[in-house]
């Protein structure tokens, strides 16, 4: 049980939605302000079921999960919870209505007394990171400008460290853990695997191991290299969307359209996996868009649509069927290249190949 001796000194952060992209920033910021952070537990089936009780059934999974995490924090005795309203992340680059209205959803569905810290990020209207942080601090009763500015710098610094580690190949969860502990670890070399795919998904779906059914680990065990939004820069993602003659509209589009487009255009992948939440409007548009471009380039694509009832067995079967198909396709392509000696080396899934092997196959 959290000791809530002073409401201003403790803030609960739900391990959902913006947590997955921004936690290291929040951590550096709040710690520097002298606020203690309480995190909700990792997502479990019980937590999802708890969150689902509070909202109508066709609400998307990530929002049900978010509600479950707020309940988890309240059950821990945390009376101040951080629920930001992230409206737009660039000029006219919008979030979906559920993320924009997250504080309103929580207020309306959870009928329990607690304080919500609910700053707004709306770059279309001129409310950027600085305004967002000042509003957060003011809601916590902190008005010292110098302190707030220094907390923003600490948040940025921690976030940049996290990003560098994640981009070097350290798994998302480990990179977060290292960053908040003040460790700085870079992965020296990533092994080249026989097959590679790109996953287009929101960070809050992909990096939540329960929501994503730990897809990254599963692919790793299948000896498939999975690229994600953490493997490219923001500029790469934006440029790739433009190269497809598309316009970025949704805030999360860089993690989905941008990431898929980048790898598709750079021809580094054997397939695309779209992981989306049932009932998500923006996802269905982005997945259709990428499916169209993937069809044009004859790149196989698998769409995994998830909700709280998705069973692991069916999920794994679809993943295995897809990777088997990719393997057969690659084997056929290599045979057509008349390089039989290299085929077994490149395709044998039991082997992890060093980069030089794939160079030979080309």
Q: Give yes or no for a contact between 265 and 244, defined as CB atoms under 8 angstroms apart.
A: yes
Which residue is it, tokens 């209505």?
97
Cβ 348 to ligand SF4, closest distance in Å? 38
Element of type H or E holding 272: strand 271-277
- CB nearer to ligand SF4: pick between 55 and 346: 55
Supply the minimum distance, in Å, between the C-beta of residue 205 and ligand SF4: 7
Task: Find the binder of ligand SF4 among 81, 140, 269, 280 (CB under 6 A).
Answer: 280
Helix (H, G, I), strand (E, B) or coil at 5: coil
The answer to the question of residue 282 lying near ligand SF4 (CB under 6 A) is yes
Question: Which CB sits closer to ligand SF4, 119 or 279?
Answer: 279
Question: Could you say whether residue 15 binds ligand SF4 (CB under 6 A)?
Answer: no
Single out the residue of 283, 286, 306, 326 in contact with ligand SF4 (rule: CB under 6 A): 283
Does 99 engage in binding with ligand SF4 (CB under 6 A)?
A: yes
Q: Does 109 bind ligand SF4 (CB under 6 A)?
A: no
Site for ligand SF4 in 291-320 (CB under 6 A): none
Binding flag, residue 277, ligand SF4 (CB under 6 A): yes
Site for ligand SF4 in 201-220 (CB under 6 A): 202
Regarding 63 and contact with ligand SF4 (CB under 6 A), the answer is yes
- Sheet bearing 224-227, strands edge to edge: 224-227, 195-200, 271-277, 301-306
Nearest to 166 by CA among 178, 175, 177, 157: 175
Rule CB under 6 A: is residue 194 a binding residue for ligand SF4? no
Nearer to ligand SF4 by Cβ, of 98 and 225: the residue is 98
Tell me whether residue 232 is exposed, middle or buried, using C-beta atoms within 10 angstroms of its C-beta: 0 to 12, 13 to 18, 19 or more.
buried
Applying CB under 6 A, which part among 57-65, 133-141, 170-178, 231-239 lies near ligand SF4?
57-65
| 48 makes contact with ligand SF4 (CB under 6 A) | no
Under DSSP, is residue 197 helix (H, G, I), strand (E, B) or coil?
A: strand
**Helical residues (DSSP H) of the chain, grouped into ranges:** 19-33, 45-52, 61-75, 97-100, 102-109, 129-139, 145-167, 172-181, 203-206, 215-221, 234-243, 257-265, 281-296, 312-336, 340-347, 355-361
Nearest to 355 by CA among 214, 196, 201, 144: 196
Residue ranges that bind ligand SF4, judged by CB under 6 A: 60, 62-63, 96, 98-99, 202, 252, 277, 280-283
């Amino acid at each position: 049980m959290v000791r809530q001796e002073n409401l201003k000194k403790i803030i609960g952060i739900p391990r959902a939605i913006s947590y997955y992209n921004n936690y290291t920033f929040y951590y550096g910021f709040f710690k520097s302000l002298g606020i203690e952070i309480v995190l909700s537990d990792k997502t479990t089936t019980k937590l999802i079921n708890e969150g689902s009780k509070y909202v109508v059934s066709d609400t998307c999974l990530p929002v049900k999960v978010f509600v479950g995490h707020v309940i988890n924090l309240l059950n821990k005795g945390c009376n101040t919870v951080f629920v930001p309203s992230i409206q737009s992340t660039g000029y006219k680059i919008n979030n979906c209505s559920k993320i924009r209205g997250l504080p309103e959803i929580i207020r309306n569905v959870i009928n329990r007394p607690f304080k919500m810290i609910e700053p707004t990020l709306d770059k279309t209207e001129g409310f950027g990171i600085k305004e967002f942080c000042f509003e957060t601090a003011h809601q916590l009763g902190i008005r010292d400008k110098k302190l707030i500015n220094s907390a923003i710098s600490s948040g940025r610094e921690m976030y940049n460290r996290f990003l560098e580690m994640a981009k070097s190949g350290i798994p998302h969860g480990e990179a977060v853990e290292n960053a908040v502990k003040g460790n700085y670890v870079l992965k020296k070399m990533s092994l080249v695997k026989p097959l590679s795919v790109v996953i287009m998904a929101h960070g809050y779906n992909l990096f939540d191991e329960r929501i994503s059914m730990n897809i990254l680990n599963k692919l790793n065990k299948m000896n498939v290299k999975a690229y994600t939004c953490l493997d490219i820069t923001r500029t790469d993602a934006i440029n790739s969307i433009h190269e497809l003659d598309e316009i970025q509209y949704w805030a999360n589009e860089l993690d989905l359209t941008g990431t898929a487009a980048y790898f598709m255009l750079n021809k580094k992948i054997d397939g695309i996996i779209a992981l989306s939440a049932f009932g998500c409007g923006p996802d269905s548009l982005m997945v259709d868009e990428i499916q169209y471009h993937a069809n044009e380039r004859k790149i196989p694509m698998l769409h995994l649509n998830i909700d709280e009832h998705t069973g692991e067995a069916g999920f794994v079967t679809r993943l295995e069927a897809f990777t088997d198909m990719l393997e057969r396709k690659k084997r056929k392509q290599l045979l057509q290249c008349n390089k039989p000696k290299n085929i077994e080396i490149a395709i044998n899934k039991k082997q992890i190949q060093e980069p030089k092997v794939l160079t030979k196959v080309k």
